[in-house]
Structure 1
Amino acid sequence: MITAQGHNAARELARRIEARDETISPCVCEALAPLVLQLRTLDEAIDTIDRSLMKKAKADATARRLMSIPGVGPITAQAIAASVQDASSFEGPREFAAFLGLTPRQNSSGGKQKLGRISKMGNRYLRKLLVVGAHAVLYHRKPHTDALRTWAKKLMETKPFKLVAVALANKLARIVFAILRSGASYAAVTQTLA
């Protein structure tokens, strides 16, 4: 038996084995039954942890405000809320983005300023969470017309996907800073920026 790789294909195969699909030989079903059981057990454990994380995030006012930002889920919101206790310790949004390593390196010479790749200095875990969140925003950008996604759509016309994802992560970091500093929600912050 040959099946595609990846988690979706594995779950589909597990579903077919549990449904006793006649196109799969009984010896293959018997051999894969322990793996199917393990996959179901892992899925249930992940669901339990996800529900617990969501419950904790909803109980924290800061995490709740951060989750109103597109691309920021309960894990990212809780990680930011736990890591950044006082937003006033940063001079501004650019310094906060630099703390996460999401600002471009500057190579200046002879009065000419040249921006390079992101510095990657700073909190690696939070940077990764924001970049992953930016990927999610870009993958699901089509049905939305808010300013953030419109900006990303326009950038996608001329720039590669990963570059736009990092630029969007930088923008998300600056929005996170504004929410941490003001105590407002995403909707209130974007109205003041417009």
Structure 2
Amino acid sequence: MALQRLTRTRYQIVRQLVEVKQHFIENLSYKCNTLKKELREAEGSTTVFSAAIMDLFTQDLSLDDLANLPLKDLAEWLQSKRRGRFKDPEGLAKTIQRAVRSSYRLDQVMSESIDMILGILVREIRSLEKAVKDCNQGIEDLVQTVPEYQCLTSIPGVGPVYAAGLLAEIGQIERFPDQTSLAKYAGLTWPKHQSGRHEAENTPLTKKGNRYFRYYLIEAANSVSRHLPEYQAFYRKKYQETPKHQHKRALVLTARKFVRLVDTLLRNHQLYTPPRSVIEK
């Protein structure tokens, strides 16, 4: 029960964080409407949620101030915020100034309002990020007392937080007759939508089941698909099968496949071992 309180609270905080970040992006687009696009096209790892970017656009600097700032000074300022970890600070500075110069200008009243909102949202983002970090630490400390913990963390890509989220909702695996009932508990089942011999390609989920369990299954499956070739190949196959909702569909189907692995390891009290073909390589 204590573990479940922590994992469910974390879920709620993460949802709040996603919502606040979306609100931040919407308001940032008023101040610098091309920044997100320019950062994405620069193909770097920096996003609008980088601490340096959030600090830069919540300071008492107008867009004209940023546009006219010497490139070297802006690059040095960015590096100071990341303690020298930007690989190409001058390139990032150029990207930012390009976005600033191509963005439309707001009138003074609107600009002041947006600046105030951005400042509030940045403080809220940082507060929520700290809350998630605190939850993670509490979860990691507590989950180690659960015997089945090592069964799930033996899977590459499944850390203590995801393992805890799964275990907190499953409880005793013996409650479920088989992996199908476990998937149903998560709501990873689909009703049949058929018309004659045609079956819908994008049949929606039943939207029933335990939302906390479903969340941690999908998050864990997403991580596993980046670590295990078998799951990566499965995800890509499902991604390419349809032109609509590709990522969401592929990820949910990968999570459904992942349920079988979770069920097997917990039911047999065993650690993950790679498929024979992987071992032989």
Structure 2: unaligned runs, 5 residues or longer: 1-27, 37-45, 70-111
67-76 or 162-171, larger mean C-alpha shift: 67-76
CA drift of 1:184 comes to 1.0
Structure 1 position 104 matched with structure 2 position 190: yes
Higher radius of gyration, 1 or 2: 2
Q: Give the equivalent residue in structure 2 for 1:48.
A: 134
Corresponding letter in the other structure for 2:234:
W
| 1:148 corresponding residue in structure 2 | 231
TM-score by length of 2: 0.50
Q: State the 1:79 CA deviation.
A: 2.8
**Structure 1 unmatched ranges of 5 or more:** none
Trace 1:33-44 onto structure 2 (pairs within 5 A). 40=126, 42-44=128-130
Larger relative strand fraction? 1
Distance, in Å, in 2 between the alignment partners of 1:127 and 1:13 is 33
Q: 1:128 maps to which residue?
A: 215
User: Contact conserved, 2:152 with 2:262, CA < 8 A, in 1?
Assistant: yes
- The corresponding residue for 1:79 is 165
Cα deviations by residue, 1:135-190 (Å, 9 ceiling, x for unpaired): 4445xx3xx563222222233332322111110010111211111101112226x5
Residue 156 of structure 2 contacts residue 228 of structure 2 at CA under 8 Å; is this kept in 1? Answer: no
Shift of 1:16: 4.3
Aligned with residue 53 of structure 2, among 5, 13, 18: 13
- Equivalences for residues 182-193 of structure 1 within 5 A: 182-187=268-273, 190=275
TM-score of the aligned structures, taking structure 1 as reference length: 0.67
Letter in 1 for 2:214: R
* CA deviations over 1:69-90 (Å, ceiling 9, x no partner): 3554433322322222322232
Using the alignment, how far apart are the partners of 2:194 and 2:241 within structure 1?
A: 25
Partner letter of residue 221 of structure 2? A
- Equivalence for 2:3: none
Q: Give the equivalent residue in structure 2 for 1:172.
A: 258
**Contact 1:97/1:103, CA 8 A, preserved across alignment:** yes
Identical-pair percentage: 24
CA RMSD of aligned residues (A): 4.1
Contact 2:158 2:224 (C-alpha < 8 Å) held by counterparts: no
**What SS does the corresponding residue of 2:192 show, helix, strand or coil?**
strand
- 1:155 partner letter: K
Partners in 2 of 1:86 and 1:145 — Cα distance? Answer: 26
| Distance of 2:146 and 2:161 partners within structure 1 | 12
CA distance in 1, matches of 2:236, 2:228: 10
Q: What CA distance in whole angstroms lies between the structure 1 residues aligned with 2:189 and 2:122?
A: 44
Q: Which amino acid aligns with 1:103?
A: T
SS in 2 for 1:104: coil
Aligned residue pairs: how many?
182
Alpha-carbon separation, structure 1, partners of 2:198 and 2:66: 64
